Chain A
Amino acid sequence: MMNETWKVDARDGKLAMAHIYVAFVALALGGLAGLLQVLVRSGKFELPAGISYYTILTTHGVLLGLVLTTFFIIGFQFAAVSRTAGTLSDRVRFWGWVGFWLMTIGTAITAFYILIGEASVLYTFYAPLQAHAGFYIGLTLVVVGSWVSGFAMFAHYAKWKKAHPGQVSPLLTFMSVVNMVLWLVCSLGVAATVLFQLIPWSLGYVDRINVLVSRTLFWYFGHPLVYFWLLPAYMIWYAIIPKIIGGKMFSDSLARMSFILFLIFSIPVGFHHQLVEPGIDPAWKYLQVVLTFMVVIPSLMTAFSMFATFEMYGRSKGATGLFGWLRKLPWGDARFFAPFIGMLFFIPAGAGGLVNASHQLNQVVHNTIWVTGHFHLTLATTVVLTFFGAAYWLIPHLTGRVMTKAMNRLAIIQTIVWSIGMIFMSSAMHFAGLLGAPRRSAFSTYGDAPQALEWIPYQIAQAVGGTILFIGIILVLIIVTNLAFFAPKGETEFPVAEVAEQAERTPLVFENWKLWIGIAVVLILIAYTVPFIDMIQNAPPGSKGFKLW
């Protein structure tokens, strides 16, 4: 089934690469926006020509949080399903391209309205700040495009299942399907607020909007969104990294179980982003806090699995002692090194996440720059370094090239530069946040308040870290451009791990979609029905739109 000579078909490769190009263009532009932000916030620099800090901030969030991630993930997953479940049919590929163009056109429309200053509402676009309708319509196209691609993947999976009755599907295909199911179920929330509330309101068809309902629908989507980013990184860790180091996967069934747990527990948790807001009874908040913490379990399983794989491999190479196996790992291989560093950063990132989601502790850090520091560890380090590490074999595989030793060395340096930059920036953000420095704010001394003056050294450290990170972005863009256009021609492997001999056969129950989606829906209904009815029954008068930038 997992024939090593299998390659991603050239036509499927084109589809995947189209997504990857958009992702890295977004990285370049969004990274530049990030650099400008840290410089402004150091207090030593002002944006020229009256450009608003908040326009730049909106650009940064939309391009890196939404565009880079969604495009890379969908491109990677198309390649992964083509590699493991066979070449896409012409029809599936056609719909993949439809999805791609919908997302790309949507991104262009949204970017246009942001850049002309009609949509400085940040990537969370909380009403009653009201952007131009084009901003919301563009975002709708991005989401609809991703749905089209998701259904294309489902169709491909269904075809495989039909051709292989009673067999367990290839792991990477299974994981891609889980991630797209998760995405589909959660993006219904943001689609509902955008289609039924924000677009009619921004076009003037309705006068007023229910702000709390809109926020709740947004956060029903907003937290599973981060798992939609994280799961592809987990795919790479579980199913690809073991092959890169030359070892075997610890257990196929535990990998599937952890993905199913993510599917079940990552959606009914949005209230932990709304812990300090009015209009929601604290008992319901607490229930969602409990559900939030359940995703710790699959993450613990993943950590165990990864380090078990590493240790088993090291010992098979003759390592002795408690930690001798660490020395056997391929530290000089960027395809391993970048994701591994990403894994290490996930330890403090996860711990910080526990603080954020803790019913009462959240109040200390809510909307402070601590939170920004947190997701620059999770998304901008763990996930992004893993994606970079994947790009180092995926791009040459798809373009028929090989990564040279020099580029591999540059990729190792890139990872180190990224880590150093992030340690400066993210630590400074965490510390300043504990002192109260807010997120999403231009430079301000708040009337020379002594407390605000204390934050400035941390803001300078953020600028230092951010500048180092920008150098990291330049390096990765050099590598990616080389791999896409200039690296020597040749064959690069798309690594897919095999399961260790001692692992058990995988049961078919993990593909009982009715069961798992059913459980997910029941949990969503339990967590949301009563508070949602409360919000609507006790709704205050709605809000008119405001354009305050």
Chain B
Amino acid sequence: MTCLAVTRSLLAVTSAVALLASAPVLADPLKVGMITTLSGPGAGLGIDIRDGFALAVGHLGGKLGGQDTQIVEADDQQKPDVAVGLANRMVERDRVNVVTGIVWSNLALAMMPTLAAGQTLFVSPNAGPSQLAGAQCNPYFFNVAYQNDTIHEAMGKHVQDAGFKKVYLLAPNYPAGKDSLAGFKRYYKGAVAGEVYTQVGQLDYAAELAQVKAAAPDAVFAFYPGGMGINFIKQYEQAGLKAAAPLFGPGFSFDQDILAAVGDAALGAKNSAQWSPDLATPANAKFVTDFKAKFNRLPSMYAAQGYDAALLIDAAVKGVNGDLKDKDKLRAAMKAAKFDGLRGTFRLNSNQFPIQNIYLREVVKGADGAVTNKLAGTVFSDHADAYAKDCAMK
């Protein structure tokens, strides 16, 4: 095992070297720290966020809020310790005005104390853990995507309304996984045939699927983002379970990054999200077309969230007329920000998480043969998360 220990220290050395090589200091532009997952199995999500953000900056002429914008990019490798190190560096050395990019809830939680102590705004384009929405809400934390639970709550409501009585639940064993099943059960009132937490990054689900089959549920709800979702959906279909019990999940389990890799295995699956490629807002149509043209792939919800993160920062900087010196003013301007994002007019709750519609989507084969999501209804209108009442901020 010494070689694994060596690998770890090598990783540390490599990232340290990578850090030394970046970011000269400029006069007074807006500096955005893009800490996201650019390598390893979660990289697809981070790259989509980064590219969505870059597309928005491009649409705004390279300037957020009219300020010259410099993006300092860093790879968190989906590791909390690396993310904290990077957050520290962004605060101490790069002196960024805003940190964004974060994909994973456990990393966001780990980075929060450092960023709050450094009075650096933290705009999450994805991670929205219950802690930061409720009792531990933080004036420096803004979420532009969703509170984790809300997407799962929508699926719970749909499964409940559709009349399923015995549902089997699966999620990875990390904060967002716990939030997921808690959210689902907040609106689903039927029997739970089984509740299973699996290892984060698990490859093989044969053991869990055999248990599912034995429990004979009438539906299955699974939260598996990224590569885990691909593994799970492929294996679910191969085990012949798709015919026995329909598979439901939050949008993360059936988003574009996963659909491209699983193909027909996901067809017909119903899932919930705050965004869909066919959502009818003027900004969204342009976003989908331009993203496809620029990056030669369909955008995922993560790309859409990255795009909206840039719009939120843009609105905040406009709100202070480009005066970045006063951190409290910038923060207040972000809280008061109003803009038309990909989901229509964007609204923040008192805990600085969005109040928004959550939609039902269905996986379909598009006209060009690509497997993608299509809107199939609205589950919640102007939905706020369940934790805002525990947040002391007004």
Say whether A and B bind each other: no
Q: Which residues of B contact A (CB under 8 A)?
A: none
Chain A residues within 8 Å of B, Cβ to Cβ = none
